[in-house]
Amino acid sequence: MALTLNSGKINLSQLRRIWAGEAELSLSPDTAPTIAASLAYVEKISASDETVYGINTGFGLLADTHISAENIRELQRNLVLSHSTGSGAYLPSRVVRLILATKVASLARGLSGVKPETIERLLTLYNARAYPCIPEKGSVGASGDLAPLAHMVATQLGFGRITVDGAELTGTEGLKALGLAPLDLGPKEGLALLNGTQVSNALALDALFRIERAFGTALVSGALSIDALRGSLAPFDARIHAARGHQGQIDVAAAVRDLLKGSVIHTSHKDCGTVQDPYSFRCQPQVMGAVLDVIRSAARTLEIEANAVTDNPLIFADTNDAISGGNFHAEPVAFAADMLSIVACEIASISERRLAVLVDPKMSGQPAFLIEDSGLNSGFMIAQVTAAALVSENKTLAHPASVDSIPTSANQEDHVSMATFAARKAGEIAANVNTVVAIELLAGAQGIDLLRPLKSSDRLEAYVAKIREVAPVFVKDRYFANDIENVRQLVTEGAFLDAGAGLLPSLSDG
């Protein structure tokens, strides 16, 4: 789809399409006047004797060092090259797309003093699917994501590495393949490109969109497990949740009721005499509803940040002011990413507990480890161990990164957010969660198949059929890893995301 970036107006749905590679970008003509005005003011300062941070000074501890007019362009180039110090694996293309798009959105607000051609260069890279190779480590999430953004810009000076049409090239080769000349960075442009929270926020958005998929899947896997247990729907009565009043809880209870509507399995055991199911079954609205409320809150923070101007100083051309502040400090992103990590852990934690109930014949009434002739067959025994291992790993990964800080730049930058790491590990947790809920999907589907000829609801039977397309019924032990991976891939691709339609923030706007 064609998507026009309007200054300060990108919503989560559009960001998700950018992340998924489903949008070609252009810039609204309405942004041109403010971009031109801020550029003119920066050029006026650089031609004068006035000393303004970031335009004709050094950086960080060297902010008091005046740079002469003839050295300003060299200053910007030196900044990019010296700050290209990242390490680790390259960020995936889906994250780089978000970085490019949100950096364009920020610069297009007309408060950064850059040339229109510089903004257009980033758009050119995005639309050509030419993605700078950006190392994932090296930012503390304050004074902007300096090192990773420097690697992005360095490719346009002929340095570093970039992928073009899927082939990894040197920066110089990439410029040649795209028919582009090296960027000529004007006053403040290097700083405007390097300052900013776009890497932290892109990583956090990546985690958000993946956690949304895990959430939608967990609604399905949780409902499948209820029927596999022959559990009660009484705890999902709307009156219970209205009495408490939390919107997420109300919404999740309604979603589960809808998923199980018309289940023959449910009606078959109305008089079974079971009084209460384990918490992991009957408290799904309370747990998953709280998760949903936090996802919505974090999503709002990340949407605001995607539209924000986070470089420094900011140029207010209408009043002839260049004001140095601290919008590059990514504390809001760090908090949002840490909250997403915590709730993602809970999605997996309660999912694994339901799985543990299903494989236990004393709790579920199903064959041990969900397979006939158990003893000869081990069934889901070690699949549950895998889920438990991932849940335990998530507990360590969920330790908040935002409570840490370490001084940098000779103590000039003495408090930092650690947002980049917070967001990166939220993505690691999301990957683990996808595997855990994939295993529960398999177990729930197996439990329902073991209750045949009884059927679940039409919606859940459709999900079971989708699972069975890639993972047949478990009749006797076989190589299990392929089944788990196949279903995990379905989760990753969003095959069960529709269960969260209307609930999840990136699926709820235009």
Q: Show which residues are catalytic.
A: 53
- Say which DSSP state 129 is in: T
The two tokens of residue 111 are: 């408060």
Cα separations (Å) of 138 from 92, 190, 199, 305, 341? 16, 18, 11, 21, 20
Cα separation, 334 vs 423, in Å, equals 7
Structural tokens at position 64: 């008091």
Contact in structure between 385 and 300 (CB atoms under 8 Å)? no
| 167, 168, 169, 307, 373 from 172: Cα distances, Å | 14, 12, 8, 31, 63
> Rounded to the nearest 10 degrees, how much is the dihedral formed by the CA atoms of 247, 251, 252, 253?
100
Whether 298 and 291 have beta carbons less than 8 Å apart is answered as no
Which tokens is 446 given? 């197996």
CA 506 to each of CA 246, 325, 510: distance values in angstroms, whole numbers, following the listed order: 20, 31, 9
Distance CA 472, CA 487 (A): 11
C-alpha torsion sign, points 69, 194, 330, 397:
negative
Retrieve residue 131's tokens: 């993605």
Residue written as tokens 């970039």?
162
Closest Cα partner for 342 from 376, 297, 373, 377? 297
**Phi and psi of 337, rounded to 5°?**
-65, -40
